[in-house]
Structure 1
Amino acid sequence: MHYMHTFQPSHSPLIPTLAVVAAGDLLSLYLPLLFLRQSPPDSKSTPAKKENKIFDTTRLLTTLLTSTLYQLVLHSTGKKFLVGWLISSGWDIESVVRVHDAPEGVLLARSLLMIPIGWAASEIIFYSPNDATDSAITTYPPVEKNEGPGEEATGVWAYILRLWLKSLSPRGRKIVKRTLLVAAYQGVSATVALAGTVKGGDFKGAMGISGVWTLATVLVGAILGWVGNV
C-alpha cells in the first residue's frame, strides 16, 4: 500500500479499502498476540507488576516514536536512492512527486498514517508477553542460567557467544532476536508480494523496497533497545 500511494497514486486503494485492509492487518496481529499472551489458569509465573491497560502513556509514546522512525527512513531512502533503483530496474513508476516535493505537513500526516505499523512493531519487538514493563518473572523451580562457553573455549563462535551473553542483557537479547525476526519476515514478504503483483516489477526492485523496510525495522529495534536501557 505504501508503494502504491507513493509511486502510483492514481492506482492506489481508496480510503474505505485502506481502512478495511488496515483493520484486517491489525486484527491479524493483535488477536493472535492477545491469545498467546494469556497466562494459563495453572500458571505459577507471576509478573512483579501487572499492566491491564492496552494503551498507556508508554505504549503511546513508543508507537509515535516507532512510526516516525519508519516514515523518516522511508522518506530519506526514497529521496536518496530508492527512486533511481526502481527506475533502473524497469519498474512502472507513475510519479515521484510524493517523494521529492512533499511539504512538512504531508510528512507529518504520513507519520501519523504510519501509526498502525509503529504500534505493531513496538508491540512485537519491545513488550514482554507477560508484562508491559518487562519485569522479572519468578519461576518454580528456578531455572538454571546458561553461562555460555567457558573461558577456555576458543574460536570465532565461542567469542561471539561470549560477547552476546556478556554485552547484552536478557532484555537486549530478546529485542535483538525479535527485531531480526520481524525484519526477516518483512524482507521476504515484501519481496515476494511486490515482485509478483506490481506491473513491471522484478526481484531486484522488490529487494530494494524490502531492504528499506528491513533497514527501518533494524533502526527501530536499535532505538527501542536503547529506550529500554535508559
Structure 2
Amino acid sequence: MSALVFEARWNRIQRSREQGYEELGDFLGRFASLGPLVRCGLVRKREEWSEFQRYHGYVPTEAGEKFLLYIPDKELVLVRPGKSAPLFLELKNDPAPNAHFKETYAEPTKAQFAAMEEMRVNAGRDSWRAKRADLLRQHLLRGYMDIRAFTKRTGAGEGGLLREGLAKPRVDRVSDQHLNIELTAEGTTFLTPLDDHDLLLVNPGMELPLFNRLDPDKAEYWCGLP
C-alpha cells in the first residue's frame, strides 16, 4: 500500500511541476526547518495523525493558503505558481528566527479543538462565553495554543510566567471576564492575550521556546534533538 501511495504522490508532484507548482520540501530545501512557516502563521499542526502524512503533520492555515495548496488525498503541500518569491519574502518576517523548533514536538490538535467545542456547548445562550469559544477556534486554526493546553502538557503555567518576568499581576482587572495578569514586553514574544475574553494563547511555533524558558531542565531533551 505504501508503494502505491508513494507512486501516486510522485506522479502528482510531476504533474504539478508541469503546471508551475513547487513541492514544499523542494522549496524549503532538504534539511530546512518548518519553524519559520509555523511562526509566521502559515502552517499549523493538524488535528490527527495520518499514516502517510508528510511535513510532520503540518497543513496550511487560511493565511498560508495564499501561498500554499494542500492536497489531502495525496498528503501534499505545494507552493502555488508565482508565489515562491512572495513566500520567501514573507518568511523574512519570522518573529523569532532563533527560537527552538522541533517539528515532532507539537502534538496533534484534536484535544484542543474538543476542549473548544465543549466550551461552545457549555456556553449555551451566554453570548460572551460563546464568543470566547469562537475566538479560541479561530486562533487554533491559525496555529495558536490555549495556555491551559500548554500547562496540561508541560506543568508550567501562570506561576512560571510571573516568576520568570513574562507576566505581572493585573491590578486594575475590570471583571472576571478579563485576564488577571498582563504580559511584559518579553512575554509578548511567546504569548498573545485576548484580554476581553479571558484567553491567553501561546503564539504559533512558540510552545517549545516557552517551555524552555519556564522549565529548561524538562525541555532540554526536546531542545537537544537534531
Question: With structure 2 as the length reference, what TM-score do the two structures score?
Answer: 0.27
Larger Rg: 1
